């Protein structure tokens, strides 16, 4: 079973700053299998990034994904107040099965 560990637990930044969120897998995974989601309070998660790098439909280019092997990163280049949310990474396995990281909370000062 692959475990996903996200860091930091909470990120507190000002509008306009850059946010860097980390997701580390317990073993090497295909870049195709790594996704990122945004969840705001009271809402369902929303797909941001799939295949480690590709933005989902309607996602602004301030969101970008990178990484390979066991280390993946979600970057928000210029934070806006509406980016305040919890961000989850997710890995898809071929059984099929899915695993989520524990989440990173992004707070806007």
Residues in contact with another protein by CB under 8 A are 1, 32-33, 35, 37, 39, 43-47, 50-51, 56-57, 88, 90, 92, 95-103
Of 58 and 81, which CB lies nearer to another protein in the complex structure?
Answer: 58
Of 1 and 82, which CB lies nearer to another protein in the complex structure?
Answer: 1
Least Å distance, CB 76 to another protein, is 18
Return the beta strands (E) in 30-84 as ranges: 34-39, 46-50, 54-55, 63-76
Distance between start and end Cα atoms, the chain: 37
Among residues 24, 14, 21, 11, the alpha carbon closest in space to that of 48 is found at 21
Least Å distance, CB 39 to another protein, is 8
């Amino acid at each position: 079973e692959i475990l996903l560990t996200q860091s930091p637990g909470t990120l507190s930044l000002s509008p306009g700053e850059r946010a860097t969120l980390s997701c580390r897998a317990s073993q090497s995974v295909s870049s195709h299998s790594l996704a990122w989601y945004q969840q705001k309070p009271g809402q369902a998660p929303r797909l941001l990034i799939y295949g480690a790098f590709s933005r989902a439909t309607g996602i602004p280019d301030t969101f970008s994904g990178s990484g390979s092997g066991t280390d993946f990163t979600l970057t928000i280049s210029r934070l806006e107040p509406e980016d305040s949310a919890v961000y989850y990474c997710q890995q898809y396995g071929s059984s099929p099965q899915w695993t989520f990281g524990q989440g990173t909370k992004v707070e806007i000062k």
